Structure 1
Amino acid sequence: MKAISYRRYGGPEVLEYGELPEPKVGPDAVLVRVRAAAVNPVDWKCREGYLDPVLDAVFPVVPGWDVAGTVARTGASVPEFDVGDEVIGYVREDLLRHGTFAEYVAAPVRTLARKPRNLSFEEAAGLPLAGLTAYQVLTQALGVGHGDTLLVHAAAGGVGSIAVQLARHFGARVIGTASEHSHEHLRDLGAEPVTYGEGLAERVRALAPGGVDAILDSVGGEALTVSAELLADGGRLASIADPAVTALGGRYVFVRPNTADLYRLSELAEEEIISVHVARTFPLERTADAHRLSQEGHTRGKIVVTLDGED
């Protein structure tokens, strides 16, 4: 099969396009014919070795954890899916080996759900990791609900934009940080936009003089430090970018595969409560360019790698 892989840690230049063996399918997995795979910041962080302390790499590594595609073959103990079913998945193993930037990926059923019928494969590929992250942070780490004021950092990004939509659905008021060119987009999603950078604290306090009830940080560093100062009494803080959040009394969240959560996100997409904005697509052979764009860190929505749907 055609695939993207890397044989050592490094920059985008270590990504190779070529032939690799089709992955084996265990009894609790299905073989997914990949139609689209979204790029996430964790992909290039894995590629550069930042996650080596916690995830072993079995080279050559096929990167990618997000997928949308069709079931090509089922394992011996899989009644949940049939050949031809359209699925989405956050296909993360406990090591780096068989990822989704390939024509096929062997996906454990615990990582999959049915694809939302109203989303294209490109849109659907951008839902699993970002959607699960936003959903798990809001429901488990922050407990965002009706009447809360939530501050979302990088609100126009993949996780942030879904978090805005979910929080509004839960009945919360949302303030979102973004560059000025994304402010209208945030308003369309239901957030009150503020520009990040110097003076951020004052701009947020102007909108929420008493502080905010919850903060979702996906930036880390200075944004995280400022965040702690903006919480109201009893406010909750969570970060998906910086483990230092625990020193500030908050929670660090690393998203987990969860079939029930993923099915709920699929339902919310079909109900048109959440949507996925695809900023740009690249063919599989240009995955390195997709990684470069992701590393720039200024993309509104999702970057997606696409594959030809013909066998």
Structure 2
Amino acid sequence: MARFVRFDRFGGPEVFHLVEGDIPVPGHDEVRVRVLVAGLNPVDHKLAASPEALASFGRDVPSGNGNDFAGVVDGVGSGVQGFATGDHVYGGHRFHAQADFLIAPAGILHQVPDGLTIEQAGALDIAGRAAIASVAAVGVRQPDTVLVSAAAGGVGVLAAQLARRTGAVVLGTAGAANQEFLRGLGVIPVQYGDGLRERVLEAAPGGITAVIDTHGRPTLELARDLGVAPERVNTIADRPFAAEHGFRGVGGQDATLDELAALGESIARGEIVLPIDSVWPIERVVDAYRHLIDGHVRGKVVLVTS
């Protein structure tokens, strides 16, 4: 038997629970993965809270949960090439990741490179692709001064570092506990909250040329008030507001699997940092989501199956 995180009604984190079922069998061109780590993302609990959001993915309750995972290949179906039993792999498979085992199309899997921890691999898919796509969407380049909101969070910390690698100056909003951490990454920290505009202009007297928002409306309102060109503002947090003001709302679907694999290699080499905020046993999935929702997370929150 295997355990799977499910939700069979809509609501907050309390709807997540474990159920038991048969170990799945891979079919043609499929791989069975013994999941070791499953990353949490805000979109997971948002889907579990909204029938409309879940329906947009063609699903209804009861539903599995989670997208990001890493583990060990446990079985391969016919026609699979490039993967063998015992390989350590990672990827993203929405509504399937939080389980002891999952079945995934071979084409969505990546080998875990040496130097990338299994926790980092299991937390990478959504945050990594969203960061890659966000930086590309606003065309970050060396003369830019870029503001990244929630720059210590899972998407923000990667986006800030990718923007820095272009040679741009990067400001990142964060709470006091994460500001020294951001400085160590070459990011200029700015305290979020009331007075943000004044603090941003103090840190960047010449103004901001691009904004990558991973937090929500206050950052977008600031971008509007500072006169940042709409096409140089991207959000993954408030697309309705973005649409009203001509901002971009590009998400991880616009990043390729090859780009994600390249980011994984960069993290493995130590060129980019992906911190793991906390590790929770899968039995405490509700507590893990409550921790994520409470905010002030540095990097990623993950579940482990053993």
Same-fold call, TM cutoff 0.5: yes
Question: Equivalent residue of 1:288, what SS?
Answer: helix
- 1:209-228 equivalences in 2 (<5 Å): 209-228=205-224
Cα distance in 1 for partners of 2:272, 2:122 equals 14
1:214–1:231 Cα contact (<8 Å) kept: no
Number of residue pairs matched by the alignment:
302
The one-character-per-residue Cα deviations of 1:72-129 (angstroms, maximum 9, x if unpaired) are 122323213222111111223xxxxx42110011122343212132122112212221
Question: Equivalent residue of 2:35, what SS?
Answer: strand
1:39–1:303 Cα contact (<8 Å) kept: yes
Query: Cα offset for 1:234?
Result: 7.7
Aligned residue in 2 for 1:27? 28
- Aligned partner letter, 1:221: R
Question: Equivalent residue of 2:99, what SS?
Answer: coil
Aligned residue in 1 for 2:246? 249
Indicate how the Cα distance of structure 1 residues 234 and 3 shifts in structure 2: closer, same or farther if over 3 A, else same: closer
Cα distance in 2 for partners of 1:47, 1:24 equals 27
Question: Equivalent residue of 2:19, what SS?
Answer: strand
Question: Equivalent residue of 1:37, what SS?
Answer: strand
Cα distance in 1 for partners of 2:106, 2:242 equals 33
Asked whether 1:196 is paired with 2:197, we answer no
Aligned residue in 2 for 1:287? 285
Question: Equivalent residue of 2:11, what SS?
Answer: coil
Q: Any stretches of 5+ residues in structure 1 without a counterpart? A: 93-97
Range that drifts further, 157-166 or 256-265? 256-265
Question: Equivalent residue of 2:36, what SS?
Answer: strand
Indicate how the Cα distance of structure 1 residues 283 and 225 shifts in structure 2: closer, same or farther if over 3 A, else same: same
130, 148, 151: which one pairs with 2:147? 151
2:115–2:269 Cα contact (<8 Å) kept: no
295, 298, 304: which one pairs with 2:296? 298
Indicate how the Cα distance of structure 1 residues 211 and 4 shifts in structure 2: closer, same or farther if over 3 A, else same: same
Asked whether 1:183 is paired with 2:150, we answer no
Q: Any stretches of 5+ residues in structure 2 without a counterpart? A: none
Cα distance in 2 for partners of 1:218, 1:188 equals 20
Cα distance in 1 for partners of 2:228, 2:60 equals 46
Cα distance in 1 for partners of 2:49, 2:9 equals 9
Aligned residue in 1 for 2:110? 113
2:230–2:245 Cα contact (<8 Å) kept: no
Indicate how the Cα distance of structure 1 residues 196 and 208 shifts in structure 2: closer, same or farther if over 3 A, else same: same
Cα distance in 1 for partners of 2:29, 2:225 equals 47
The one-character-per-residue Cα deviations of 1:236-261 (angstroms, maximum 9, x if unpaired) are 00000111212222111231273211
2:116–2:264 Cα contact (<8 Å) kept: no
Cα distance in 2 for partners of 1:235, 1:202 equals 23
Question: Equivalent residue of 1:78, what SS?
Answer: coil
2:48–2:54 Cα contact (<8 Å) kept: no
The one-character-per-residue Cα deviations of 1:44-76 (angstroms, maximum 9, x if unpaired) are 111112613412324431211000111112232
Indicate how the Cα distance of structure 1 residues 259 and 292 shifts in structure 2: closer, same or farther if over 3 A, else same: same
The one-character-per-residue Cα deviations of 1:110-155 (angstroms, maximum 9, x if unpaired) are 432121321221122122211111011112x112122321110000
Asked whether 1:174 is paired with 2:175, we answer no
Cα distance in 1 for partners of 2:187, 2:283 equals 36
Cα distance in 2 for partners of 1:187, 1:301 equals 15
Asked whether 1:134 is paired with 2:135, we answer no
Cα distance in 1 for partners of 2:39, 2:32 equals 18
Cα distance in 1 for partners of 2:74, 2:187 equals 40
1:110–1:259 Cα contact (<8 Å) kept: no
- Aligned partner letter, 2:269: E
Query: Cα offset for 1:214?
Result: 1.1
Asked whether 1:104 is paired with 2:101, we answer yes
The one-character-per-residue Cα deviations of 1:204-243 (angstroms, maximum 9, x if unpaired) are 1122223212111111122211122234568600000111
Cα distance in 2 for partners of 1:235, 1:251 equals 6
Aligned residue in 1 for 2:90? 88
Aligned residue in 2 for 1:95? none
Aligned residue in 1 for 2:305? 307
Q: Report which of the two has the higher share of helix.
A: 2
Cα distance in 2 for partners of 1:27, 1:44 equals 32
77, 80, 100: which one pairs with 1:78? 80
Indicate how the Cα distance of structure 1 residues 85 and 198 shifts in structure 2: closer, same or farther if over 3 A, else same: same
Aligned residue in 1 for 2:276? 278
1:279–1:301 Cα contact (<8 Å) kept: yes
1:238–1:251 Cα contact (<8 Å) kept: yes
Cα distance in 2 for partners of 1:104, 1:153 equals 35
1:178–1:194 Cα contact (<8 Å) kept: yes
Indicate how the Cα distance of structure 1 residues 233 and 52 shifts in structure 2: closer, same or farther if over 3 A, else same: closer
